[in-house]
Amino acid sequence: MTKTKKPWDGRFAEPTDKNVERFTASIDFDRQLYRYDIEGSIAHCRMLAKQGIISDEDEKKILTGLGDILNDMEKGKLDLDCALEDIHMAVESFLIDRVGEAGGKLHTGRSRNDQVALDIRMYLRDEVKDVMGLIGILQEALHKLAKEHMETIMPGYTHLQKAQPVLLSHYLLAYWEMFKRDSERFGECLKRINVMPLGSGALAGTGLPIDRKYVAQLLDFPVITKNSMDAVSDRDFIAEFVFDAGLTIMHMSRFCEDLILWSTEEFGYVEIADSFTTGSSIMPQKKNPDVAELIRGKTGRIYGNLITILTILKGLPMTYNRDLQEDKEPLFDTVHTLKSSLSILSEMAGNVKFDCEKMRKRALEGFSTATDMAEYLVMKGVPFRESHRLAGKIVAYCIEKNKDLSSLDVAELKNFYGGFDEDVYKYLTVEESVNVKNVPGGTSKEMVSKRSKEIESNRD
C-alpha cells in the first residue's frame, strides 16, 4: 500500500512495528494544523519555482494538488491514518498519490523540523489574535457593568476582613486593568511568535539556493529566524504563551472566586442568572455557580500545561528532538481552555445582578470608616500613629457599648480627644469615606469616572 510506505524508509529493511506506529504518531492531534501546513507548503513551493529549483510545470501540479487536498480536508473526506505519522507526512503522501513524481519535489530544501516550527507559529499567531479579541470583549463587559455601578458602594476587603468602603465600579475596573496587562503580554508574545523559521532545514540550513525572505513575505511574517539550530529547537514562544494564558485565567479565577463567595447566602451580594447556574440532583433548593467554579478549576489545567511544556524543554540536547512533539497537546488544550473560559465569563458578566442595598449596608458595618476617623484627626494636627491609636480605642469602646462610630455623640468623642467636632460625622459616612479617596487611582467617584472616561476614549 502506498499510503503506509514511509517517505523515510530508504535505509530500513523492516516495516515499522504497528505499536510503534501508534505510539509515535501525532496525527490525531496535529491534524488541526492542516490549513497552516498546506499554506506553508504552497509558499515553499512558490519559492522553489521562483528560484528555479523546481520547474513551473511541477509548481502548477503541486499547487493544484495542495488546493485539492485542502478542499478535501475541509470536507473531512481524507482518512488520516496513524500510519501517516503526522500531518506533514500525511499532506505530502496525499500529494504524491495525486500528482505523482512532482509531489515528491515539494519537500526539497525543507525538513519536518522547520516545517513543524512554521506550522505551530502560524497557528499560534492566529490564536493569539483571537485571544486578544476575546479579552477585549471581557473588558468591555466589565466596563459596562462598572458604568452601571458608578454610585454603588461596597465593602472593600483585605485578608477577607472588611477594610474600607469602595465603589463597586472601582472593584470591577480593577479586573479591567488586569486584563489590559494580560492583553499587552499576549501582544508582546506575538512578536516572538511571528518569526519565520522555514529554511532552517533539519538544523543546519540547506545547500539549495532558497529565498527565505520571499517565503516570509508570502506568509506575512515580518522577520525570519536568524539561527537555524535555534529555529528548529525553540519552543520559548509556546512556554511564554501558556504562561500568559496562566496569568489570564488566574485573573478570571480570582473574579470567579469573588462571584462564588458573593453569591452565597452568607454574603448575598450578587445573584447569577438561572441560565448561568445549575441545580443539584439531590438538594432542590440549590443554585450552584458551576460556570465560575469550572473556570477556577480549569486554571489548574493551564498551570499543568505550563509545567508540562517547561519540563519537556528542560533537558533537551540541541537541536530538534522528538520530545518536542509533546508540545502540541498542552498547547492546543491551553488555547481551547482559555478561549472557552474567556467567552463564557464575558457572557456571565452580563448575567449577574448585584444587591446594591446589601453591599452598602455591609459597607457601613465593621467600623469600616475608622481609618477616615484617624485621617480626620490627622487634619486636626494629630500625628497619624497617635490618631490611629485613638481611633482604635474608640472602636474598642464602640464594641463594648455595642454602638457604631457615627452613633457616638461629640461629648463621647471628646473623652478621647478634645479636638473632635461636629464636622467629624461627615467623614464617617460611606459616601464621604469613598469620595475623600480622591488621589489618582483612588476609589472616589471623581477618579473612577475619570478612569472610565479614559477607557471609553481609549486613552489608556
Q: State the catalytic residues.
A: 159, 280
- To the nearest whole angstrom, how small is the minimum distance from the Cβ of residue 330 to ligand ARG? 13
Per-residue string for binding with ligand ARG, 89-128, x by CB under 6 A? -----------------------xx--x------------
| C-alpha neighbours within 13 Å on the C-beta side of residue 104 | 6
Cα 143 from Cα 156, distance rounded (Å): 19
Q: CB of 87: closest distance to ligand ARG in angstroms?
A: 8
Minimal distance, residue 112 CB to ligand ARG, in Å: 4
Should residue 325 be labelled a site residue for ligand ARG when binding is judged by CB under 6 A? yes
Query: Which position among 49, 324, 370, 408 is part of the footprint of ligand ARG (CB under 6 A)?
Result: 324
Are residues 305 and 333 in contact, defined by beta-carbon separation less than 8 angstroms? yes
User: How many Cα atoms within 13 Å fall on the side-chain side of residue 28?
Assistant: 8
- Answer yes or no whether residue 369 interacts with ligand ARG by CB under 6 A: no
Nearer to ligand ARG, 59 or 86 (CB): 86
Grid coordinates standing for 401?
Answer: 457599648
Q: Kindly state whether residue 11 participates in binding ligand ARG, applying the rule CB under 6 A.
A: no
Q: How far apart are CA 393 and CA 416, in angstroms?
A: 8
Which residue lies nearer to ligand ARG by CB, 165 or 201? 201
Contact 175, 145 (CB under 8 A): no
Instruction: Mark 378-417 with x for binding to ligand ARG (rule: CB under 6 A) and - for no binding.
Output: ----------------------------------------
Nearest to ligand ARG of 10, 284 (CB atom): 10
Dihedrals φ, ψ of 126, to 5°?
-65, -45
Q: Which span (210-218, 241-249, 307-315, 319-327) binds ligand ARG, by CB under 6 A? A: 319-327
- Does residue 324 contact residue 112 with C-beta atoms inside 8 Å? no
Shortest reach from residue 4's CB to ligand ARG, in Å: 17
Q: Which of residues 21-40 bind ligand ARG (CB under 6 A)?
A: 26, 30
User: Least distance in Å: CB of 214 to ligand ARG?
Assistant: 24
Cα distance between the two ends of the chain: 61
Question: Is position 231 an interface residue for ligand ARG (rule: CB under 6 A)?
Answer: no
Instruction: Give the closest residue to 2 by CA, choosing from 111, 76, 103.
Output: 103
Closest to ligand ARG by CB, 24 or 64 = 24
Q: Contact region for ligand ARG (CB under 6 A) — 187-195, 290-298, 322-330, 363-371?
A: 322-330
Contact call for residue 322 and ligand ARG (CB under 6 A): yes
- Look-up: residue for cell 445549575? 278
Cα maximum dimension of the chain? 102
Minimum CB separation of residue 111 from ligand ARG in Å reads 7
Q: How far is CA 103 from the centre of its chain?
A: 40
Choice between 320 and 354, CB closer to ligand ARG: 320
* Nearby residues of 252 by Cβ (< 8 Å), 6 or more positions away: 138, 295, 299, 341, 342, 345
Pick from 116, 152, 128, 155: which is nearest to 37 by CA? Answer: 116
- In this structure, are residues 436 and 372 in contact, taking their beta carbons and an 8 Å threshold? yes
Residues that bind ligand ARG (CB under 6 A): 26, 30, 86, 112-113, 116, 322, 324-325
